[in-house]
Structure 1
């Protein structure tokens, strides 16, 4: 029996996750988790802060270097613990249950679910602009996308991964057309609406530009959430992370080169929709229509990715006895966290309908990179355990350790501090919302301990057979 077939048989017999995601699908998950709508919009913000073409490309190259270090870090962590849940598992094992729970709590309450709502509405907006449908269709289209993709992922990781593959390829095709047109066609001379002069302080300007750049590069870590469903995760997860991040860095640099070649640094800084403006100048109205469709497809693929991976974190939390027991159960046939997928969809739809997702996401824009930095710090714990003989030595190792992880942690802290300084009130609200998870954690831990101490007959009645 082949290794994948053996894994399938094991999954069917013990009710665990089934390994159905190969290397190609893993790479598509990484790329799809990074590329959303950011590369179509954020380059204008970067150009506004650094002014010149060289510094614009330099900012994206520097951010790509940070993302690549992150891929190395998550690759080693994934090889050490190839379990579903990603950062939740690493934080729990290295620093204890509370920080891990707060990570999962934040994802469920607002980060993942708020992103699902926001991206679904973004998908609806671009779809309406693409098709010419009336704005009354916005909310039904957004909710319909959440329901459809949640349903696909309910029935197995393979349908979800195949959906991801299709829409990741489509978004790459859209970007390839953008880049190809920009580099091969000789359109009108770039528009210079803002003087393209170096900023007064290059260091400060690059630092400010790194915030939107790093947010655009975020997302590679989500593939670790489904590590338990990858075929040969110890080998394929690090490969998928590196190949995916390197591919995205190349795409991002080429896209920005296209924007600069077509619009110029000043025109890029003044643009509210760089991709549409660039392709519109090169191909006319048809180019704008094409890129609008491309953004719609890109956001749909990103939406699928978040819906696919995030329930694995909630399931891991519940399996530890820190959330509703039914959230820990996997579907007996599909081997998916079916209850967690349904719960996530219901909460995301509620956020979509009430329109509260925007505020929630504004409150926690710093949280992703806070988790990135904390997760990178777990690597030092695992390396120390390895030296003491308390953990096995792994073959895949972060190059340049400990300097490279320290640089990554510094970059993460910079984003957190920068986001907090830009809106202290929102950061305070986000911190309070995350802090609200502490009493929730204490409740579930106390309940778990109570069940553990209860007589067997009572525990059977309370907890079920």
Structure 2
């Protein structure tokens, strides 16, 4: 009943927001930006861990089947060589990677191909279950249940903890809502109906297995479906059923593999993930870059997790339950925040029911925690995995959101001062001033002066007859830079705090001979407008030199228009500049140099 009710909660949410983000979208509407990212991050972790878990379980059934096939079909010495091959961990990893590649290729081909694959897996799964429960129902021994009912409440709660994984996966369906016709009507009914069918089948399978094998015997079985099938079928038929089990387990992995790129798509659209992963393929209308990224990550997770089924299961269940608690609570929150919003599907008792289920899930986690001392350590590991999303969120926010850039620049102004020789090392300073040449008597705009790292050197080089105009979007950074120049008696500089610098050149800036900018280019929101405003204040032949940080920590994505040198050159050319673009390698990031002159002629800059 809990599983069916949770499916109805998801049904109400997807009927309100039939978008690709699924649980991320619901959390965004209920909790706000940061919590929704953390829930999306958690959901993405759950999807990858689930795929890993299902693949490991499938390989546990597949390898013995292949052993039998090789013994039957091959002669020596090929038989020995083949048996040695499939006994190796490398075989498991390579075969699993191939399966993941196939699933993702089908996901890339579009929703119709994906739906066909998932329907096939569903049919096979139901066939396998029926093949076991139909003959097994007649062999049930009711006395086997006596030991089960004698178990302590704690033991039952812990058992429930591990069984819950069977009913996970509602979120995967919601990710496909944007590509589903009449999703707000179709998906809620589908969720409730399929969960009801799965629940009934799960109960019957559990009843048959516990009725045939005593619980203490069943708990020690590595492949219970094989044990039960061999009681009623020949060896050949049993192997066919086990092949169906393998297909079913791979199918469970396929659901998350196919759907989770849509979660990445939603996060990327909101600039809470790699921006380029929001691209849609022009032919297949699928998030092809997100699918490629997901493929790589899933294979890496499988490589890391192979051979640790129980640990992975212990990681998955609490993390998934935390995620489901967060999502369930969005139902009453959204009932309160948006009471009049259209809900084509409404879950009964929507203001109190989800809260009660969340409490049950919380108590289940607590029962597992106190069951064994080592569980607390695993829970700490789960919290650390979830918590790793916080620095990722901050880095992405800092990279993409100009308002956050302003606030963080103020907060970390003194830190920037402390690490300025790391941020702008001596070799970068030499490159800047080497390309600019003599500045004596010239006027210079420093667009984004920061804490004055190069401002003092600029002021010294232009001399008393020259002038430096230093602008920055951080008030605190401007004050620090101003104090630094005042301390050494330099007064041929004008500082301007401009909170709108991401979109303009300040109106008080007069004609200048040079424009220099360090670390500001990637934050500009309207690059064409800013370049033309710079063009207006420069004379013909006036020089520009931009330095920006790219490939941050070798993993944070660049602003899209900074990623392609030819496109960047064309952008500057269209604004009336001839430039060179160079990438210089650094330790924790790389540097992008864009330098050249203002010219009305289409000539290369050398």
Task: Tell me, yes or no, whether TM beats 0.5.
Answer: yes
Matches within 5 A, 1:75-86: 75-86=11-22
Q: 1:357, 1:378 → 2: CA distance?
A: 36
Change (3 A) 1:162 1:191: same
2:87 matched residue in structure 1: 135
Matched, 1:95 2:44: no
1:3-41 per-position Cα deviation (integer Å, ceiling 9, x unaligned): xxxxxxxxxxxxxxxxxxxxxxxxxxxxxxxxxxxxxxx
Contact 1:321–1:444 (CA under 8 A) maintained in structure 2: yes
Change (3 A) 1:330 1:128: same
Change (3 A) 1:414 1:242: same
Change (3 A) 1:260 1:361: closer
2:59 matched residue in structure 1: 124
Matched, 1:310 2:358: no
Contact 2:141–2:212 (CA under 8 A) maintained in structure 1: yes
Change (3 A) 1:353 1:272: closer
Change (3 A) 1:397 1:84: same
Matches within 5 A, 1:5-404: 65-108=1-44, 110-132=45-67, 134-136=86-88, 137-183=91-137, 186=138, 196=147, 198-199=149-150, 201=152, 203-265=153-215, 267-355=217-305, 358=308, 362-387=314-339, 391-404=340-353
Q: 1:386, 1:139 → 2: CA distance?
A: 48
Contact 1:167–1:298 (CA under 8 A) maintained in structure 2: yes
1:12 matched residue in structure 2: none
2:393 matched residue in structure 1: 441
Contact 1:260–1:268 (CA under 8 A) maintained in structure 2: yes
1:202-233 per-position Cα deviation (integer Å, ceiling 9, x unaligned): x4443233212222211123211111111101
> Alignment partner for residue 503 of structure 2, among 455, 458, 463?
455
2:587 matched residue in structure 1: none
SS of the residue aligned with 1:244?
helix
Change (3 A) 1:126 1:237: same
SS of the residue aligned with 2:149?
coil
Q: 2:204, 2:355 → 1: CA distance?
A: 29
Contact 1:182–1:262 (CA under 8 A) maintained in structure 2: yes
Q: What are structure 1's unaligned runs of at least 5 residues?
A: 1-64
Q: What are structure 2's unaligned runs of at least 5 residues?
A: 71-85, 405-499, 505-520, 528-558, 562-570, 572-606
Change (3 A) 1:324 1:357: farther
Matched, 1:425 2:491: no
> Alignment partner for residue 408 of structure 1, among 357, 365, 388?
357
1:333-391 per-position Cα deviation (integer Å, ceiling 9, x unaligned): 2111111111111122223334479466644531111111111111112111233xxx4
Contact 1:360–1:430 (CA under 8 A) maintained in structure 2: no
Change (3 A) 1:463 1:276: closer
Change (3 A) 1:433 1:199: same
Q: 1:382, 1:309 → 2: CA distance?
A: 25
Tell me which of the two structures has the higher relative contact order, counting C-alpha pairs closer than 8 angstroms and 6 or more residues apart.
1
Q: Which has the higher Rg, Structure 1 or Structure 2?
A: 2
Change (3 A) 1:357 1:84: farther
More helix by share: 1
Cα drift, residue 115 of structure 1: 2.7
1:85-114 per-position Cα deviation (integer Å, ceiling 9, x unaligned): 211111111101212212232344x43223
SS of the residue aligned with 2:187?
helix
Q: CA RMSD in A?
A: 2.7
When the two structures are superposed, what TM-score results if normalisation uses the length of structure 2? 0.60
Cα drift, residue 300 of structure 1: 1.4
Contact 1:139–1:353 (CA under 8 A) maintained in structure 2: yes
SS of the residue aligned with 1:366?
helix
Contact 1:276–1:292 (CA under 8 A) maintained in structure 2: yes
Q: 1:248, 1:289 → 2: CA distance?
A: 24
1:122-144 per-position Cα deviation (integer Å, ceiling 9, x unaligned): 32332222232532432221111
Change (3 A) 1:289 1:356: closer
**Bigger CA drift: 288-297 or 65-74?**
288-297
Q: 1:273, 1:356 → 2: CA distance?
A: 17
